[in-house]
Structure 1
């Protein structure tokens, strides 16, 4: 919604407005009688590149030049550029994600493509792809882990467990933290668009949509908007030797017919995008920040294949999610689910669960069958007993 559809909409509007400016005639002026031929063109070009000002017909034209400058509208020449800038700003968070997420050490696009291939492969080929994905993720999880332990690493691990937004590859929070950061960028951008247009048009653009809705609810006729005036005035001076003459002419801006409709649509579109982005950010914050969600996510797929046979398996499942997969591993599984199907995720989680069990079986157990906490390294640097179910 942000970096694809909104960008396309803004680029289309930028092309429409720029075409109206450079192909058609964006301004027409009522000239004095002495203006003939190229004098008329000169006056219109001058009034277009300079700024016109607004005075309603119920008012007297101000005599003070400074007062006229205070009423100038300065945005209409730059509308295509501001729309292009807005398109870039909506694309920017996606650019940040694409540039930074490969630093996690995993080719996420390749994993997603492999997951998609499993849906068209034969049973044997499908299982081979699942096993290859599981092996690849297993090596990645082992590589991006803390194998040295000191006070700095212990403090960083503790902070990352409290707040998973702290990006750390070794703590298993880089991808999820970066993802939340990008979501925050999307939200900040769409809210900032209202303030940007406020400054650009020097009007209260953030209440523009409410004024339109109020007018529609009152069944008032559609009138000339004060934010997008169609009739304006322009002052310019002509020098003839030492004689300087000032002319004031009345102009009409047909381009504001397009600008008004475009920015009305953009107000409602940005409002909708802000709502969707806020909801999406809250959902992902709840999904990533709360640790119980990762255990629930993994447990759901392990139950499908009946992998949790007893209480020990359920205890081990929590360590599988918290210490083996960690937040980044669970995040990758969530991305695979959203881009393929639950069936693929079920097989992938099961394959990784078996690899995890194989590693635990190679470590000695206590007499009661529980794993020794000190033997859990490198899956966890915490020396604590298994949590209760």
Structure 2
């Protein structure tokens, strides 16, 4: 929410953000990271397809057409890196070990990374669409109440509460049976049993999506390690070590700017072998881009892991869900008598259940706790006016009179 408040004043950002069915850590993954990767893709593509991505030092007898051919053949075929202090290998096997074959595909891998960061978001919206509730609409209406008049605000809150009440009632399991009651009891305490009728469908799916975000952020470090083939997993640590010791790496073995290229030219029955030295200006950009991506992936992975643990702590354990509700009931002076305390537990476990409390927490993440407090009060009043609650209240009053 802090990052959203900084960027929220920009109209373009508001159009990009669009939806309110997740928290800001999710948007850090599927929105901000995707935008960064697309920007990097544009930068690298511009340099590759508009400028000169490679320029080779050719023999003096080469004409302009020969130079163009050399540049093209060395670009589409992989070059290899040998430091100036070492002798160029004579055989193909040592050259193959030092081969650099990623620079042609950098725009594609960056787009692929952006797609991977977007997939969990797309999956989450498909799953919520099948849950029987328009989660984005609820949270959006709640978040927009801060900018409307008092009358419209009250009308909007009542509309949200009525909609949530219908959703909560329609999502109930009306069948009976020993096995069904057992499944309902298990679903209160763990996500092994889950479903739309058990009140934990949204929570389970959201935790699954959170795990996907975390797996994706960590997994991309290994994907890049395979793509670059340069022990990329420890790249950031080496950068920090160089900076700490004040070492400058001009000839980077991971992103070399000067490489070697072997190619053959056939003239009649003769085949001439050439080894030319090439400059890869594109690697000047690649080095900085993938350096930033390493630190960004570590940053996103750390925040995603912490966020996943926090959501697990607050939503999976029953006492934390009830404590969250009781806090707002106390604020609204609805948690005083013994009957209120007993009915508050039923309000959380039988009426709202895990999914209802999850929606309230999501409103709090995207709007504020004042809005959550008003929704809890209205939902509590809805619950108190239900026939079963009035019957229980009447029985309690009769017993106290006796």
Q: TM-score, normalised by structure 2?
A: 0.88
The Cα of 1:190 is off from its aligned counterpart by 0.6
Match of 1:363 in 2: 391
Match of 1:300 in 2: 327
The Cα of 1:219 is off from its aligned counterpart by 1.4
Q: Structure 1 residues 141, 63: closer, same or farther in 2, change over 3 A?
A: same
Match of 1:378 in 2: none
Give the one of 189, 204, 229 matched to 2:216. Answer: 189
What is the rounded CA distance, in whole Å, between the counterparts of 1:264 and 1:117 in structure 2?
39
The Cα of 1:178 is off from its aligned counterpart by 0.9
What is the rounded CA distance, in whole Å, between the counterparts of 1:165 and 1:44 in structure 2?
59
Match of 1:325 in 2: 352
Higher helix fraction (1 or 2): 2
1:239 match: secondary structure: strand
Q: How do 1:124-273 residues align onto structure 2 when only pairs under 5 Å count?
A: 124-164=151-191, 166-273=193-300
Q: How do 1:327-366 residues align onto structure 2 when only pairs under 5 Å count?
A: 327-359=354-386, 360-363=388-391
CA contact (8 A) 1:97 1:178 kept: yes
Q: Structure 1 residues 327, 28: closer, same or farther in 2, change over 3 A?
A: same
Match of 1:72 in 2: 99
What is the rounded CA distance, in whole Å, between the counterparts of 2:335 and 2:199 in structure 1?
25
Deviations 1:148-182 (A, max 9, x none): 12355344324422323654110011111111111
CA contact (8 A) 2:188 2:349 kept: no
Match of 2:338 in 1: 311
Match of 1:37 in 2: 64
Q: How do 1:104-115 residues align onto structure 2 when only pairs under 5 Å count?
A: 104-115=131-142
- 1:61 has 2:101 as partner: no
The Cα of 1:210 is off from its aligned counterpart by 0.5
The Cα of 1:366 is off from its aligned counterpart by 8.4
CA contact (8 A) 1:183 1:277 kept: yes
The Cα of 1:363 is off from its aligned counterpart by 3.2
What is the rounded CA distance, in whole Å, between the counterparts of 1:364 and 1:346 in structure 2?
25
- 1:96 has 2:118 as partner: no
What is the rounded CA distance, in whole Å, between the counterparts of 1:184 and 1:119 in structure 2?
32
Deviations 1:286-344 (A, max 9, x none): 01111111111111111111112211111110110011100000011111222222222
1:225 match: secondary structure: coil
The Cα of 1:30 is off from its aligned counterpart by 1.0
The Cα of 1:231 is off from its aligned counterpart by 1.3
Please give the root-mean-square deviation of Cα atoms over the aligned residues, in Å.
1.9
Structure 2: gaps spanning 5 or more residues:
1-27
1:104 match: secondary structure: coil
CA contact (8 A) 1:165 1:178 kept: no
Q: Structure 1 residues 207, 284: closer, same or farther in 2, change over 3 A?
A: same
CA contact (8 A) 1:167 1:178 kept: no
Match of 2:110 in 1: 83
CA contact (8 A) 2:255 2:286 kept: yes
CA contact (8 A) 1:165 1:173 kept: no
Q: Structure 1 residues 19, 122: closer, same or farther in 2, change over 3 A?
A: closer
Structure 1: gaps spanning 5 or more residues:
372-389
What is the rounded CA distance, in whole Å, between the counterparts of 2:139 and 2:398 in structure 1?
36
CA contact (8 A) 1:166 1:177 kept: no
CA contact (8 A) 1:53 1:72 kept: yes
Give the one of 2, 5, 9 matched to 2:36. Answer: 9
Match of 2:3 in 1: none
What is the rounded CA distance, in whole Å, between the counterparts of 1:370 and 1:253 in structure 2?
87
2:391 match: secondary structure: coil
CA contact (8 A) 1:52 1:72 kept: yes
